Amino acid sequence: MSESHRSEVAAFRERQALEEEAARLCMYGFASSASHQMITARMQLGAERILSLINEGKHEEAQALMNTEYWSAEAERGSDEKESVKQRKNEVEEDRA
């Protein structure tokens, strides 16, 4: 009986040690968090991309990109796909004429 009692205590101590290590790593460990410099650099790149779209006359695409939460490239890809669909439509119409 004392042997099973010891294993319960050992299991509790092991679990407690693991939880303490997890808490320590959470507070001071290698948690991935964005620094101010990384956020600023990402926003700067996004702003440059939006300005280049405006300079190219792609105002709708620039507006769509500005309306995304993080000025993400996914919205831009969606705009590019719409643009390529428009181009294909125009090509088909020109071929018909």
Please, are residues 54 and 62 in contact by the beta-carbon 8 Å criterion? yes
Residues 23 and 46 in one domain: no
Please, are residues 76 and 61 in contact by the beta-carbon 8 Å criterion? yes
Residues 25 and 56 in one domain: no
Residues 27 and 55 in one domain: no
| Chain centre distance of CA 7 | 45
Domain with 74 in it: 36-96
Residues 54 and 77 in one domain: yes
Residues 42 and 29 in one domain: no
pLDDT digits (tens), the chain, 97 positions: 455 567 888 999 999 999 998 888 877 776 566 678 888 888 888 889 889 999 999 999 888 888 887 666 554 455 555 555 566 656 656 665 5
Residues 53 and 24 in one domain: no
How many domains does the chain divide into? 2
What pTM did the predictor assign? 0.42
Residues 18 and 51 in one domain: no
Residues 47 and 83 in one domain: yes
